[in-house]
A and B are shown apart, each in its own frame.
Chain A
């Protein structure tokens, strides 16, 4: 039925609707709903913001179960008009163009080319209207999790209609969590009740509920409340909420700090090898990170269909690319400079300029887009106050994995043993048969490769462009020096603690001042412990 309707021209449709309405008086209730739906759809097809808005209101008030799919598609900007016949479809991009789905029946409806379709445009006003509409419709969704999301959504924008609906539904709700949400919404409304007792009851029900709407609601109640008993209860509840909030706020700051720390550690850990263990003041370290990030970009370009897989493949690829460039730098330049550590600074500074310009020339002076796989986006919602972003959690985990791997290489493999031997006493190591030239090249390659791996991680957080390395090089040196040159643990502890300190300072000092304070702290700390947090012991440390 409705599909045939949709084919007819607009004026005829309206006429038909009127006729249908008049005729079928016995099925009035049901038909009124579907009539609203049809009328709404007709308005949506006009593709003009104000008319679409009216249309959405009509579709939503039809309470037709089929409306959800339609509105959700519109909300996601997936609703299209087929130019040829003026029908609406949900379209998703595919190889052939677009796959079409009927928005009401959700049945596949063939394919179409890009030029055959016109997207129904929406703006922010519509988006927020759609959200409420979809939430309202979803209150009766068979899945509890969807219902819960819908209730939470509605807490923010309660009105008389939605409240009446919630009161209706709350009694029949089977799922405890959803019911609690609905009760909270009703309680929130009851804060405006006339009898003080009901207000107190509502407050008791809201105790411990961290949803932001609750705090706002109680705050507004306090602003106008006259009754002492109600005031006292409200203040008590609010205090409890505030305490919980502070607690979670602190946890959040700690998380922010650790994730910033992980970024610092990742950026610095390669340098902890090249600078810390080998003593090369590697100013091109930032550019090796940048190369890793660009490798991620290129791997993604090679396999645009598998962003997530590309990211995993980029890790070894970046290690190889940056590592190879590192070995090249070591063999071509640095090996002539051992024993003159300060001069490595000059040569590597020159190399960093060349690498930057190379990327500008070969790829582009602009930033390049690196896509985030879906599992990297979004956050893990612990409660209304505390949510941990997924990408940051992956970064923290990744940082720890990289650190552990590197630590094992340095401690448990023969390469690690040789590296440590050469760095402690080159002449003695050679006398014992260590091929120091080979070890040097491999060590520098290892440090550079790790820098490349860090680049893969950073590509998920920030811009990938020719200046990427520049923004991390100073911080990396600070971390390594603060932790103590030549000590991997030092780098880990230093990075993490600088991250946390920075984030604790940031809310009250501001981002810039926090960073300045951290720098001053490092300067003063070095006065106290001139060799960093974990100084290298023994004679090797002198000179």
Chain B
């Protein structure tokens, strides 16, 4: 890693500093400060923050391919969900014989649908290392195959966007099918513990929160490294003038493929961290609307800045949490209006606004 990773990245520096501060403060305020103190951070808030952070990592992954490579993926939710499912399968296996039917081998949903034995693809998920590997391998492999096909035949622009959407839509329909062995519409839920830690204890939640924060920081630095390296400059060149880059002699397809795959792996990791914190994974995560929403986060935060993506993810999701509670009947107006206004008034997103301020200051 060259010195330049965070050099000239004021936004990134501020973001990482804030992240570090939150990661230090929140556990203390949650665990050490008594519940009746005004400074206490409730476990509810911790879980919520943890969830936002996984979304932030997902947004970084999308920003990497959209902001720096020009691929508008409307299917990144699929990689996120696949990572989530891999983690969910591990958590299901950890339940063991503590399910309601007490079957040591089969998850509950298989028992009441009369499955006789564990499907082959569930084997191995009782080991954490295997599940962790799959969290990265499955989304990565799917992205690799998909990208290899698509980039080789030079599918670009909206065509690419729409077939990524087709991909996540097809996966959603497939996972909805109960025959698939992933719990159908109900998905995977009722998790008990992770690596032996009780998922309902405050300490585990704090642990997951810290893990998410570390993942976001790691993801950010990795992406930052990529975009500031020579590879990153090539990707920007591809984004701005694909044909020209190709004529110069770069193997455009390869660059695209590797960055796309890396981004999918990041999304998978985000999904894996997301599942134990919200306690459920189901095919709804594959829904094309979800993937569009991710893109909206990035756009609101500001493309091609990485920290903007984080900002957008946090802001929109916080807005959602807040508004669905305060104005349950009208929150869609506010959210929809926000999308329209940001697109019209802040073409560079919020990050652009910050940068502009900085420039004038």
A353 near B343: Cβ-Cβ < 8 Å: no
| Contact A354 to B159, CB < 8 A, known contacts A343-B299, A516-B174 | no
Interfacial chain B residues near A481, Cβ < 8 Å:
158-159, 162-163
A281 to B332, CA, bound (A): 20
Residues A333-383 near B (CB distance < 8 A): 333, 336-337, 340-343, 345-347, 349-354, 356-358, 361
* Known contacts A349-B292, A361-B329, A526-B155; A477/B162 CB under 8 A: yes
Interface size on B, residues (CB 8 A): 45
**Inter-chain contact B153/A527, CB cutoff 8 Å:** yes
Interface residues in B76-113 (C-beta closer than 8 Å to A): none
Q: What's the Cα separation between A148 and B77 when bound, in Å? A: 59
Q: Which residue of B lies closest to A470 (CB)?
A: B289
| B residues in contact with A516, CB < 8 Å | 170, 173-174
Residues B343 and A519 in contact, CB atoms below 8 Å apart: no
Q: A281-B158, A283-B292, A530-B159 are in contact. Are A523 and B167 (CB under 8 A)?
A: yes
0/1 interface trace, chain B 146-178, chain A, CB 8 Å (1 if under): 100110111111110111011101100110110
Q: Which of B177, B299, B330, B333 contacts A346 (CB 8 A)?
A: B299
Interface residues of A (CB under 8 A from B): 275, 279, 281, 283, 333, 336-337, 340-343, 345-347, 349-354, 356-358, 361, 470, 474, 477-478, 481, 485, 512-513, 515-516, 519-520, 522-524, 526-528, 530-532, 543
Q: Which A residues are CB-close (under 8 A) to B343?
A: 333, 337, 343, 346-347, 350
What B residues does A543 contact at CB under 8 A?
157
What CA separation (Å) do A350 and B155 show in the bound complex? 27
Collect the chain A residues with CB atoms within 8 Å of residue B174's CB: 512, 516
Top-10 shortest CB links A-B: A350-B339, A353-B336, A354-B336, A357-B332, A519-B170, A350-B336, A350-B340, A347-B343, A481-B162, A530-B155
For residue A356, which residues in chain B have a CB less than 8 angstroms away from its CB?
332
- Chain B CB count within 10 A is highest, among A340, A351, A477, A478, for A477
CB-based contact A477/B165 at 8 Å: yes
Smallest Cβ-Cβ distance to A342: which chain B residue: B72
* Sample of 29 A–B contacts (CB below 8 Å): A281-B158, A337-B343, A337-B344, A345-B295, A346-B299, A346-B300, A347-B340, A347-B344, A351-B340, A354-B336, A357-B332, A477-B165, A485-B159, A512-B176, A516-B173, A516-B174, A519-B166, A519-B167, A519-B169, A519-B170, A520-B170, A522-B166, A526-B153, A526-B163, A527-B153, A528-B153, A531-B159, A532-B159, A543-B157
Closest to B241 in A: A543
**Contact of B166 with A523 in the complex, beta carbons under 8 Å:** yes
A543–B170 CA distance with the chains assembled, in angstroms: 28
> Which residues of B lie under 8 Å from residue A530 when comparing CB positions?
153-156, 159
Binding site for A on B (CB under 8 A): 72, 146, 149-150, 152-159, 161-163, 165-167, 169-170, 173-174, 176-177, 288-289, 292, 295-296, 299-300, 329-330, 332-333, 335-340, 342-344, 347
A478 and B166: CB pair below 8 A? yes
Q: Are B339 and A512 neighbours in the complex by a CB distance under 8 Å? A: no
Whether A485 contacts B158 in the complex (CB less than 8 A), given A349-B296, A522-B163, comes out as yes
Q: How far is the CA of A275 from the CA of B159 in the complex (A)?
A: 12
A532 to B340, CA, bound (A): 30
In Å, the complex CA distance between A349 and B294 comes to 12
Main secondary structure of the interface of A (DSSP, over half): helix
Select one of B155, B162, B344 contacting A527, CB under 8 A.
B155
- Chain B residue at smallest Cβ distance from A529: B153
Checking B154, B159, B329, B335 against A350 with a beta-carbon cut-off of 8 angstroms, the contacting residue is B335
Q: Indicate if the CB atoms of B149 and A352 lie closer than 8 Å.
A: no
Looking at the assembled complex, report how far the CB atom of A497 sits from the nearest CB atom of chain B, in whole angstroms: 16
Establish whether residues A353 and B158, one from each chain, have CB atoms under 8 Å apart when the complex forms: no
Q: How many angstroms between the C-alpha atoms of A528 and B163 in the bound complex?
A: 13
Q: How far is the CB of A532 from chain B (nearest CB, A)?
A: 7
Whether the Cβ atoms of A523 and B163 lie closer than 8 Å is: yes
> Contact between A515 and B173 (Cβ–Cβ < 8 Å)?
yes
Query: How far, in angstroms, from A539 to B161 measured CA to CA in the complex?
Result: 21
Q: Judging by beta carbons under 8 Å apart, are B169 and A474 in contact?
A: yes
Task: Write the nearest CB–CB distance from A328 to chain B, whole angstroms.
Answer: 12
Q: Closest B-chain residue to A510, C-beta based?
A: B177
Please give the distance in Å from B171's CB to the nearest CB on chain A.
Answer: 9
Residues of B close to A478: CB separation below 8 A? 162, 166
For the complex formed, measure the closest distance between the CB of A350 and the CB atoms of chain B, giving whole angstroms.
3
**In this complex, which of A361, A520, A530 has the most chain B Cβ atoms within 10 angstroms of its Cβ?**
A530
User: A513 vs B72: C-alpha distance in the bound complex, in angstroms?
Assistant: 27
List the A side residues contacting B152 at CB < 8 Å. Answer: 527
11 further interface pairs, Cβ-Cβ under 8 Å (given A349-B292, A516-B170): A343-B343, A343-B347, A345-B292, A346-B300, A347-B343, A357-B332, A512-B173, A512-B177, A513-B177, A519-B167, A523-B167
Q: Do B159 and A346 have beta carbons less than 8 Å apart?
A: no
Query: Could you say which residues of chain B place their CB within 8 Å of the CB of A279?
Result: 158
- Chain B: CB-nearest residue to A354: B336
Q: Which among A279, A340, A515, A516 has the highest number of chain B CB atoms within 10 Å?
A: A516
B75 to chain A, nearest CB (A): 10
A346 touching B295 in the complex, CB below 8 Å, given contacts A357-B336, A522-B166, A526-B159: yes
Q: Complex formed: what's the CA distance from A41 to B20 in Å? A: 88
Report how far A478 CA is from B329 CA in the complex, Å: 32
Q: Which residues on B sit within 8 Å (CB–CB) of A283?
A: 292
Residues of chain A within 8 A of B146, CB atoms compared: 523
Q: How far is the CA of A478 from the CA of B167 in the complex (A)?
A: 11
In the assembled complex, the CB of A356 is this many whole angstroms from the nearest CB of chain B, namely: 7
Residues on A with C-beta less than 8 A from B162 are 477-478, 481, 526
CB < 8 Å neighbour of B339 from A353, A361, A523: A353
Residue in chain A with minimal CB distance to B341: A350
The complex places the Cα of A337 from the Cα of B343 at a distance, in Å, of 8
**How many whole Å from A157's CB to the nearest CB in chain B?**
38
> Closest Cβ of chain A: how far from B197's Cβ, in Å?
37
- Residues of chain A within 8 A of B169, CB atoms compared: 474, 519
Report A135 CB to chain B, min CB distance, Å: 43
A283 to B174 Cα, complex, angstroms: 24
Q: Are B339 and A349 touching (Cβ within 8 A)?
A: yes
CA distance A220 to B339 in the complex (A): 66
**Closest approach, in angstroms, between the C-beta of B141 and any C-beta of chain A?**
16
Distance in angstroms between the alpha carbons of A515 and B170 in the assembled complex: 8
Chain B: minimal CB distance from A330 (Å):
13
Once bound together, how far apart are the Cα atoms of A522 and B337, in whole Å? 34
Shortest Cβ gap from A389 to chain B (Å): 26
| Neighbour of B330 across the interface among A357, A470, A522, CB < 8 A | A357
| B228–chain A nearest beta-carbon distance, Å | 24
CA distance A507 to B162 in the complex (A): 27
Beyond A342-B72, A532-B159, whether A333 also contacts B332 by CB under 8 A is: no
**A-side contacts of B299, CB under 8 Å:** 343, 346
CA–CA, A470 and B290, complex, Å: 13
